[in-house]
Structure 1
Amino acid sequence: MTEYERHSYDVIVVGAGGAGLRAAIAAHDAGAKTAIVCKSLLGKAHTVMAEGGAAAAMGNLWPEDNWKVHFRDTMRGGKMLNNWRMAQLHAQEAPDRVLELEEWGALFDRTADGLISQRDFGGHRYARLAHVGDRTGLEMIRTLQQRAVALGIDVFMECTITDLFKDGDRISGAFGYWRENGKFIVFEAPSIVLATGGIGKSFRVTSNSWEYTGDGHALALRAGATLVNMEFVQFHPTGMVWPPSVRGILVTESVRGDGGILKNSEGRRFMFDYIPEFFKAETADTIEEADGWYTDKTNNRRPPELLPRDEVARAINSEIKAGRGSPHGGIFLDIASRRDPEFIMRRLPSMYHQFKELADVDITREAMEIGPTCHYVMGGVEVEPDTAMSLVPGLYAAGEVAGGMHGANRLGGNSLSDLLVFGRRAGLNAAYYAVRSKSAPVTVTEEEITAAEADAVAPFAEDGGENPYSVQSDLQDVMHTLVGIIRTEAELEQALVDIAALRDRAAKLTVTGGPEYNPGWNLAIDLHNMLQVSECIARAALERTESRGGHTRDDFPMTDQSWGRKNIILKAIGDKIDLSIQPLPVMPDELQTFFEEK
C-alpha cells in the first residue's frame, strides 16, 4: 500500500455546488468540524446553469401567491409522484432561504418598489422566480462560496472521492485521490453529505459538464443506500443544437419566461397544439390565441411555451419527428420579434453573449436553433424528508443527487430553492448526527483502505484492455438511442443487454502514463459509476409501464393511475441491481384539500 494523507472531520460534504456549499455552511454553523471535497474547482458547478431563478412564493409580484400554491404547482408538475413532505418543506422554507442569500450579499433584480423581482417560469401559477438577470445560479454560487470561505471551512479542490467506508452499518469515512498528482487521501467522518449532482454525461446530448457522472448515486448504492424512481430523466426543452461543438449547452427557460416563442420550420407557433387536457381544464372558457396567450382561472395570462418542461420537450420532439424541424435538427426559439434589443440585452445578457460568441447568432435580430438536451435527473438517493438522511446511518444527500422532491418532473426554478432548503437540512442534521456519534466513534481500517486503493489503480495494471473513452462513447450512444426522451420495451431490453456488455468491457480498462492529471484514469474511475447508474435508469424505465413526466413509453403512451401510487426502488446487491416496488407515502388529508380548491 502506498502512502496516503489522512484527515478527520465531523462532516464531509462531497460536492461544492449550491447544495454542497449550503450544507457545509449549515454544518459549520451547527458547530461541526466540516470539510468540502470537490472533484473540480470551487465554484465550478452545474448550479451556474440554473440561470432563470430560484422559485419561492414570496408574493412580491402576486400577493395571492403563497406556499400552498407553490406546493400544489410542484406536486402537479411532478405528476403527483413527489414525496409530499419534501414538496411541503420546500414550498414553506424557500422564501426564507432566498432572503438569507440576500442577507449574505446576493444581488437580486428589483421591482419598482425595491422588492426582489420575480419572473414567470413553466408550470408555476404565479411569477415566483427570484432572479439576477439570466445569471441567478452564478450569483448563488458566488454568494455561498464567499460565505463558506469567510467562515474558514476547509476545501479540498480537484479531489475525487471513489469509495465510502462503513463501520458496521454506519458511515465512517471516504477514500479519494488528488487529481493533480494521483496521491490518495482518506477522510474519517461519522457524517457524509452527498451533493454530487446528476448523471448527464451518460447521454450523448446534455447540458451537463464533465463532472456529472453519477458519482454520488453510485457511491450511495455501494454503501447500501437505495435509489428511487431513476427512470425520470428531464430533457430540458431548449439546448443549443448548432454548431456541433456546443450541442446540448443550455438555453435558459428565461428566454421563454421573458416572451420568447417556439416556431417550427414553417414559421408556425406550434405550442397551442400541445396544451394537455389537464391544463385546458385549468384555463378559462376560451383559450386566447389571438395575442399568443391563454388565460387560466385566476386570470393569469400565460404563454403555452411555459407549460412544464416535459410537455414542451415532447412537443418539440414531435415537431422534429414530423419533419418540421430546423436545418440542424432542432426548432426555433424566437424572442427577437417579441422584445426590443434593449430589453433582451438587459434581461438576457448571458444568452446574448452565448449565442453571439458560440454560434455567431444575434438573438436580438434572429431566432435561435434549439432542441431537447439531457439536463436533470428527478430520481436519486432515497432520503428521509426532514433530515435528508439515507437508509445508511450518517449518509445524507441533497440537491440533484437526492430523489423524491420533484416526482416525475421538476419545475424550472425549483432546483435552486431545493438545494438551498435541503442543503441546509442535510448539513444541520449531519452535524447533529456527528455529535451524537461521539459516544461511539467510528473507525476506518487499513484493510478497507488497501481494497479501495487496489480498485483505483486497477486500470494501470491491465494490459491490452479497453480505452475508457471508447466505452464511454458507446454508453452515450446506448443511452441516447435506447433510453432517451421516447422509450419502448424492446429498446430498453436491448439497452440492458448493451450496458451489461459495456460493464464487462469496463472491467478490463487500460490507461497509460502516470496518475498526474491523467484524464484517461479519471474517466476509468468515473465510468464504473456511469454504467451502474445507467443500468438503474434503464431497469426502472423498463419496469414503469406508463408515460409520466420525464418518462415517456411509446408502447405505453397513457398515464396509468395505479403507477401513481408506486415508487420504484433500486438497491445494489453485490454486482447486481435489485428492483422493488414500494407504495408512495400517503399525503395527509389537510394537504389533499389544496387540490380541491379552484
Structure 2
Amino acid sequence: MSTVEPRNTGERHSYDVVVVGAGGAGLRAAIAAHDAGARTAIVCKSLLGKAHTVMAEGGIAAAMGNAWPEDNWKVHFRDTMRGGKMLNNWRMAQLHAQEAPDRVLELEEWGALFDRTNDGLISQRDFGGHRYARLAHVGDRTGLEMIRTLQQRAVALGIDVFMECTITEILKDGDRVAGAFGYWRESGRLITFEAPSVVLATGGIGKSFKVTSNSWEYTGDGHALAVRAGASLINMEFVQFHPTGMVWPPSVRGILVTESVRGDGGVLKNSEGRRFMFDYIPDFFKAETADSIEEADRWYTDKKNNRRPPELLPRDEVARAINSEVKAGRGTPHGGIYLDIASRRDPEYIMRRLPSMYHQFKELADVDITKEPMEIGPTCHYVMGGVEVDPDTAVSIVPGLYAAGEVAGGMHGSNRLGGNSLSDLLVFGRRAGLNAAYYAARTHDAPVTVDEDAVVAAADAALAPFSEEGGENPYSVQKDLQEVMHTLVGIIRTAEELEQALGEIEKLAERSRHLTVEGNRQYNPGWHLAIDLQNMLWVSECIAKAALTRTESRGGHTRDDYPMTDQDWGTKNIVLRRHDDSVELAIQPLPQMPAELKALFEEK
C-alpha cells in the first residue's frame, strides 16, 4: 500500500465560469459563457468528444415545421407536458419548445450536417409521444454530430479544457460558490478551481443500476455534488427505462436500440409472433393512436393519416407493456421481446436510415437486422430528476451553482419524450452558461474566496481509501448496489421492496466508509470507483426515498401497490436536500401554469 500526502492540495486555476461536463449541455454552456465575456473552463471526466451525448441516436426534437407545417411550439409544449404526465415545470417546457428550433439552426450554422428533405430543408423524423415528425437528425448518430459540432466550436474559441479530470467537491464561500476541487485521473494529482460560477452538466445516474444504456461516467456526480453543496433535487423517483436495449449477448446487455427503428417502421412482437402493443394503449392516448394493425400500417405509408402506431407511445408506456409480456411468459429466449423492421422495410432503406444500428447488431450480436428481428428489453436510460433550478436562468438555490441537461430536474416531469434530451441540452446549456457568466461579472466587486480548510478537507476525503487497511473492495460494493437498485427500485416498485432497498443502501453506505484501495494514485480505477461510489449511494438513497413517498404510478415511476395515477399527487413535487449526512424529504406544490397555456389542453 502506497504512502500519500493528504495535505498536498495540488495545482490552482482561476476562472469566471467552470463547466463540469463536456457533453451537449456542458459544451453549449461553455460556448455561451465565453461569448458573454467570461473566462471559461471545461472540466470533463473522460476525453473531449467521448461524452455520453454521442450515444443519442434518434434526433433533436424541435418544432421547425419542415415535415409538418402544422407543427409549432405550442404543439411541442403540449406533447412534452402530456408525456411528463403534467408534472413538468411548465415554464421550462415552454422555453424548451419555443427556443429549440433556433438552437438547431445555430448548430447548422456552426457546421452540423443534418439529413435533408427533397426540398433541401433539415429532415425531421417521427418519435414516440410527438404528434408530428419533428426530430432533426443525422442518420441514427445525431448525438455524435452534435458533439462534433459543439466541440469544434469550443476549440475554435480557445476555451480551456481539462480532460480526464474528476470534480469531487463544490467549494463555497459562505452560501456562495467559490470553485471546485478534483483530481487528474491519469496522475492522481489534486487540482483546485477558483470560480464564482460553476455549471453542472454531468449527465445521469445509470451506473447505479445493473442493466443500463449509460456509459461509465454516469455515476450521479453532479446530483451528489449539488446536494452536498446545499442544492435541492426534485423528481428523483422518476427513472426512465428505455423500452429497447439489447438483451443478447450478455456483454452488450442494455446497450441502446434507438427509437428511430420504431419511428421508421419497426414493430414489437412477442414470442408468439403477435404485435402486442395494441393491448396496451392507455385511454389518454386512444384519440391519437391507431387501434388496429391495418390503420397503423396505413400511417407508415400515408403520413397524412394523423393516427400513430402504438409502438410510438411514450417510452414509459412501451417499457411497461414489454415488461408485462415478459412476465406473462411471452418473452424471447433471453428475456426480452422482438423488434422487427426486416419484414417491413427493404435492406437498402434500413442501411440508409439506420446504419449504426445495422453495424451495432452485426458486430456485437451477429444479427443482421435487414433479415431478422432484434431481441430487446427495457434498460435504465435516463433520470428525469435532478437539481432544482430556476427555469429562466438555470441557477439552483445555491448562488453561483447552475445545472443543465440530465443533471437538472423539472423539464421532463415524470417521463421524457425521445428527442427532447438533445434540445434540452442546447436550450438550457445556453441559458446556464449565459447566466453563469452574468453572475460572475456581478461578483467582481465582491469576489469570492476559497476556504483553505475546505480544500484540505476535500483532499483528505478524496485520498481516504488509500489509508484504510483491510476494508471493502469498491467493486463488490458497487455490484451489490446495482443488484439492490435493479431488483428493488427497478421498473416496478412496491413499498415493501423500497423499504428493503433503503435498509440495504444504508448498509452499503456504511461499508463504503471503509473502502480499501491498493497501489498508488496513477491509473487506479479502483480509486476512481471508490470516489464515484459515494455519489451513487447519495443518488440511490434519493431515488428510493422519493419512490417510497410517491404513493401512485406516474410516468417512469410504477408502483405495483398503487397502480393508478392519483390526481392529488399531480400537483406536488418531492424535494430532497441534505441534512447532516442523510437525505431530508419535503413536498412542495407544483408551479401553476398560466391560463393561456392551460387552454392548449382544452383544444380538440
> Residue 259 of structure 1: CA displacement?
0.3
1:486 aligns with 2:492: yes
> Residue 292 of structure 1: CA displacement?
3.4
1:533 aligns with 2:509: no
1:26 aligns with 2:7: no
Q: Which residue of 2 aligns with 1:418?
A: 424
Q: Which residue of 2 aligns with 1:507?
A: 513
Contact 1:32 1:434 (C-alpha < 8 Å) held by counterparts: yes
Residues paired across the two proteins, number: 596
Separation of aligned partners in 2, 1:61 and 1:126: 8
What secondary structure does 1:479 align onto? helix
Q: Which residue of 2 aligns with 1:588?
A: 594
1:325 aligns with 2:339: no
Instruction: Give unpaired runs (5+ residues) of structure 1.
Output: none
Q: Which residue of 1 aligns with 2:341?
A: 335
1:130 aligns with 2:136: yes
Separation of aligned partners in 1, 2:356 and 2:51: 17
Letter in 1 for 2:582: K
Letter in 2 for 1:474: D
Q: Which residue of 2 aligns with 1:545?
A: 551
Q: Which residue of 2 aligns with 1:364?
A: 370
1:182 aligns with 2:188: yes
Contact 2:234 2:385 (C-alpha < 8 Å) held by counterparts: yes
Structure 1 residues 489-498 or 298-307, which shifts more?
298-307
Match of 2:479 among 469, 473, 482: 473
Contact 2:179 2:194 (C-alpha < 8 Å) held by counterparts: yes
Q: Which residue of 2 aligns with 1:315?
A: 321
Q: Which residue of 2 aligns with 1:287?
A: 291
Separation of aligned partners in 1, 2:298 and 2:513: 55
Q: Which residue of 1 aligns with 2:3?
A: none
> Residue 574 of structure 1: CA displacement?
1.2
Matches within 5 A, 1:227-238: 227-238=233-244
Letter in 1 for 2:446: A
Contact 1:123 1:306 (C-alpha < 8 Å) held by counterparts: yes
1:352 aligns with 2:349: no
Separation of aligned partners in 2, 1:343 and 1:17: 30
CA distances 1:177-222 after superposition (whole Å, capped 9, x unpaired): 0011100000000000000000000000000011000000000000
> Residue 288 of structure 1: CA displacement?
3.7
What secondary structure does 1:225 align onto? coil
Separation of aligned partners in 1, 2:386 and 2:182: 22
Contact 1:161 1:176 (C-alpha < 8 Å) held by counterparts: yes
Q: Which residue of 2 aligns with 1:277?
A: 283
Q: Which residue of 2 aligns with 1:163?
A: 169
Separation of aligned partners in 1, 2:55 and 2:187: 29
Q: Which residue of 2 aligns with 1:246?
A: 252
Contact 1:398 1:426 (C-alpha < 8 Å) held by counterparts: yes
1:150 aligns with 2:165: no
CA distances 1:260-310 after superposition (whole Å, capped 9, x unpaired): 000000001100011101111345xx8343253487998413211000000
Contact 2:244 2:259 (C-alpha < 8 Å) held by counterparts: yes
Residues 25 and 422 of structure 1: CA distance in aligned 2, closer, same or farther (over 3 Å): same
Residues 166 and 3 of structure 1: CA distance in aligned 2, closer, same or farther (over 3 Å): closer
Q: Which residue of 2 aligns with 1:432?
A: 438
Contact 2:9 2:456 (C-alpha < 8 Å) held by counterparts: no
Q: Which residue of 1 aligns with 2:4?
A: none
Match of 1:78 among 78, 81, 84: 84
Separation of aligned partners in 1, 2:457 and 2:204: 27
Q: Which residue of 2 aligns with 1:46?
A: 52
Contact 1:193 1:426 (C-alpha < 8 Å) held by counterparts: yes
Letter in 2 for 1:435: A
Letter in 1 for 2:426: L
Q: Which residue of 2 aligns with 1:453?
A: 459
Match of 1:382 among 385, 388, 400: 388
What secondary structure does 1:185 align onto? strand
Contact 1:288 1:294 (C-alpha < 8 Å) held by counterparts: no
Separation of aligned partners in 2, 1:332 and 1:220: 40
> Residue 330 of structure 1: CA displacement?
0.4
What secondary structure does 2:13 align onto? strand
What secondary structure does 1:337 align onto? coil
Aligned-residue Cα RMSD (Å) equals: 1.2
Residues 297 and 355 of structure 1: CA distance in aligned 2, closer, same or farther (over 3 Å): closer
What secondary structure does 2:456 align onto? helix
Separation of aligned partners in 2, 1:331 and 1:50: 22
CA distances 1:554-580 after superposition (whole Å, capped 9, x unpaired): 000000000000000000011010000
> Residue 362 of structure 1: CA displacement?
0.3
What secondary structure does 1:292 align onto? helix
Separation of aligned partners in 2, 1:461 and 1:229: 37
Contact 2:296 2:307 (C-alpha < 8 Å) held by counterparts: no
Contact 1:294 1:302 (C-alpha < 8 Å) held by counterparts: no
Separation of aligned partners in 2, 1:162 and 1:299: 52
Separation of aligned partners in 1, 2:304 and 2:239: 31
CA distances 1:410-443 after superposition (whole Å, capped 9, x unpaired): 0000000000000000000000000001110001
Match of 1:519 among 501, 515, 525: 525
Match of 1:442 among 445, 448, 453: 448
What secondary structure does 1:333 align onto? strand
Separation of aligned partners in 2, 1:109 and 1:155: 30
Matches within 5 A, 1:187-226: 187-226=193-232
Separation of aligned partners in 2, 1:185 and 1:291: 60
Letter in 1 for 2:586: S
What secondary structure does 2:395 align onto? coil
Contact 1:255 1:348 (C-alpha < 8 Å) held by counterparts: yes
Contact 2:278 2:292 (C-alpha < 8 Å) held by counterparts: no
Separation of aligned partners in 2, 1:77 and 1:180: 42
Separation of aligned partners in 1, 2:492 and 2:453: 46
Match of 1:59 among 43, 65, 75: 65
Separation of aligned partners in 1, 2:292 and 2:475: 51
Letter in 2 for 1:277: D
Contact 2:288 2:308 (C-alpha < 8 Å) held by counterparts: no
Match of 1:393 among 390, 396, 399: 399
Contact 2:206 2:380 (C-alpha < 8 Å) held by counterparts: yes
> Residue 227 of structure 1: CA displacement?
0.1
CA distances 1:472-501 after superposition (whole Å, capped 9, x unpaired): 000000000000000000000000000000
Separation of aligned partners in 2, 1:293 and 1:571: 49
TM-score by length of 1: 0.99
What secondary structure does 1:290 align onto? helix
1:117 aligns with 2:113: no
Letter in 1 for 2:280: Y
Letter in 2 for 1:372: P
What secondary structure does 1:301 align onto? coil
